[in-house]
Amino acid sequence: MMAQLFAAEFRARKRSWTGLSLSWVMQRGSEREEINRIIMDELVCGVFKPKAVAYFQRVMDRMKNAGCDAVILGCTEIPLLMNDANSPLPTLDSTRLLARAALRRAIQSAMALAMD
């Protein structure tokens, strides 16, 4: 169910990216199911297995071979397992990127208020 919801949401958002010179590769359905299982059955419970790292590495390596330049770690638990040091592709940690953007915006707002 989670994978189906993700795929439907992705297809809906994909249309808004049409003119941006971006291309992407998604994990396959069976890969998505195993990734969801690892997240929910292992990472959420604080279980970090070398076998899970190896699985993510295989999926990311396939994406690299398909022409990807980087991989988005779009779930807050995935960076607990994967990072630039053990990924075949550079990683984009969505939680870290959003936190940095929020901090940058807060600082800009505070500076604007101080200037008034």
Q: What is the pLDDT of residues 3-45, one digit of tens each?
A: 444 555 555 555 565 666 777 777 888 999 999 999 999 999 9
CA distances to 1, 79, 107 from 92, rounded to whole Å, are 25, 9, 23
Residue range 48-99, pLDDT digits in tens: 999 999 999 999 999 999 989 999 898 889 999 999 999 999 999 988 888 8
What's the pLDDT score for residue 3?
44
Integer Cα distance of 66 and 2 in angstroms: 25
Fold of 2-13+24-115: Rossmann fold (3.40.50)
Beta strands in 12-87 (DSSP E): 71-73
pTM of the model: 0.76
